Structure 1
């Protein structure tokens, strides 16, 4: 079995973030299956077959979703090898993180929808830490808490070890809509 390799991108060559700016990119990240594929590729490259196995998809479906993510520039081929006359491609995230557009329809709230779906799909006998707290903060406290949460997430992302099981950290810090606006939107 011969092997032709494209050099893997080192972490220094991978951009820190990709800003989702096009409709194609937004549609790509808005899909739960593609979200789960990107989660598989978060720490290490994988082939279509490996992605299909980890996400629980048919190989053809996995290939379809991977092509859409690649076309949107969110994932890329980082290595190839020839296996029994067929070129096997290894895909990885095109950047360490994805930045969604600010609150617009289909914007950051898509992350919360995906997080809830992932939480619902997680084993019920596994350890979880889920909490919601209603706070009353000054704008300065609000900004400070947001910065601290981001710094904590970044600190633990740096400690991530690809050999360990996946762990998801999701948080949302926001000012809820006022009661009058919520009632008006309901009618």
Structure 2
């Protein structure tokens, strides 16, 4: 079910929706549509796909309610459709313990494809109280929100990913 208000969060709840967002190509198509509507041809060019492949993936995303047609226009007798992301934010269900985290897998794939010199990657191992852990999570989210508000579709794409978590026991944590 698409969300009509772009300020809302779309919650992925069905198997069809989860399959749609679990594909790296469809993840990249949604990234293209995050800031501005695009046609199948424009999507294909931005993602580096054939138009037929782009159309196939967009149809699956549309069927799952993750993207929607926001306008159409006639071009030489053909109806051209402009697609956009269904909501400003898409919330994925938390994976179970030991299950793959779709969002992080896509982020790692995008990071690995990014040109060297065009990325900043750091990892910090911390020891925090529960209150500090919660506060750091809020501050990271606020920082992401602050820069999201500054986003300009005319500027190059930038992705920011953060993961704040307590490692499972037995992965180096003192017992």
TM-score exceeds 0.5: yes
Tell me the alpha carbon deviations over residues 30-57 of structure 1, each in whole angstroms, 9 at most, x when there is no partner: 1000000000001000000000011011
Higher alpha-carbon deviation: 141-150 or 12-21: 12-21
Deviation at 1:14, TM superposition (A): 1.5
2:161 corresponds to 1:170: yes
Correspondence for 2:121 among 126, 130, 138: 130
Matching residue of 1:68: 60
Q: 1:54 to 1:75 in 2, by over 3 A?
A: same
Residues in 2 aligned to 1:82 and 1:59: alpha-carbon distance in whole angstroms: 18
Deviation at 1:107, TM superposition (A): 7.2
Secondary structure, counterpart of 1:64 in structure 2: helix
Q: 1:108 to 1:15 in 2, by over 3 A?
A: farther
Deviation at 1:74, TM superposition (A): 0.6
Q: 1:19 to 1:150 in 2, by over 3 A?
A: same
Secondary structure, counterpart of 1:13 in structure 2: coil
Structure 2 segments unaligned to the other structure (5+ residues): none
Matching residue of 1:17: 9
Residues 26 and 106, structure 1, Cα contact 8 Å, conserved in 2: no
Secondary structure, counterpart of 1:179 in structure 2: coil
Matching residue of 1:98: 90
| Root mean square deviation, CA, Å | 1.7
Equivalent runs, 1:20-39 vs 2, <5 Å: 20-39=12-31
Residues 100 and 108, structure 1, Cα contact 8 Å, conserved in 2: no
Matching residue of 2:73: 81
Normalised TM-score (structure 2): 0.91
Deviation at 1:129, TM superposition (A): 1.1
Deviation at 1:128, TM superposition (A): 1.7
Normalised TM-score (structure 1): 0.85
Secondary structure, counterpart of 1:127 in structure 2: coil
Secondary structure, counterpart of 1:114 in structure 2: helix
Structure 1 segments unaligned to the other structure (5+ residues): 1-11, 181-187
